Amino acid sequence: MKFNLKIALVTVLALLAGCTSHPQQAVNLPDDLSTMKKTKIGVAMTPLPKVDTSFDGAGCLLCMATASLANSALTDYVRKLPTENLADLKSRIADLLKNKGFDVVLIDSPINIATLQKSKSKGPNVSEVDYSGLKNQYQVDKLLIIDINALGVLRTYSGYIPTSDPKARLKGVGYIIDLSNNTYDWYLPLDILKNAEGSWDEAPKFPGLTNAYFQAIEIGQDSFSKPFSE
């Protein structure tokens, strides 16, 4: 009985380990880009998220309601902030690639990753999403995608209690996917948090946080562009 129980326990632990999803680590661009320049690369973005506040750590429904109520004036203001020129980031990167001799296709329509199938392949730097169907759709060999998934202001909580001042936030990832084997040639995750200079709590226009928000956007754009401008 003890032996069987031990086997069962090991089996359960193995199954749990197999279900654990490890976050994709950063992948630097190859030092030698000559091979990549021989391919056609598409440059695209995912749909930009709505600018909003988020309250990480306010886990329960009542906690979230309390945090939302306490920051309602800030949320109302943040939701009116523009996304500035973030949508032009793909054009900026496409121009940088062209200047380096890449064969570039600028893809106008945002790519909705949620509509794609999961990849059946597993392995180091293999995407969990299957992008192979986009190869024929866009007539490209590789796809560079900028995926910004959070934009606005973050304030952390522990239950009902705030544990930080609000910070401007831009979170996302940039990557190049090889459409022949669904692997990453480049992968750059970003989570930019920018504090307000001076007091943040200056309703109704929150100038300190507003400046931090636009600075976070600028830092994000520069960070995604830098690998292709060096």
Q: What's the pLDDT at 32?
A: 84
Q: Which of 227, 230, 229 is nearest to 96 (CA)?
A: 229
Q: What's the pLDDT at 22?
A: 75
Cα–chain-centroid distance for residue 205?
27
How many domains does the chain contain in total?
Answer: 1
Any domain includes 3: no
- Return the structure tokens found at 141: 């060999």
Q: Under 8 Å CB-to-CB from 138, ≥6 apart: which residues?
A: 42, 105, 107
Domain CATH number, residue 52? 3.40.50
Any domain includes 17: no
Q: What's the pLDDT at 120?
A: 87
Query: To 10 degrees, the CA torsion angle through 177, 179, 181, 183?
Result: 0
Rounded average pLDDT per 10-residue block, the chain, 230 residues: 44 45 86 87 97 96 95 97 94 95 95 93 90 94 97 97 97 96 96 96 95 97 93
Cα–chain-centroid distance for residue 170?
8
Any domain includes 2: no
Q: What's the pLDDT at 3?
A: 42
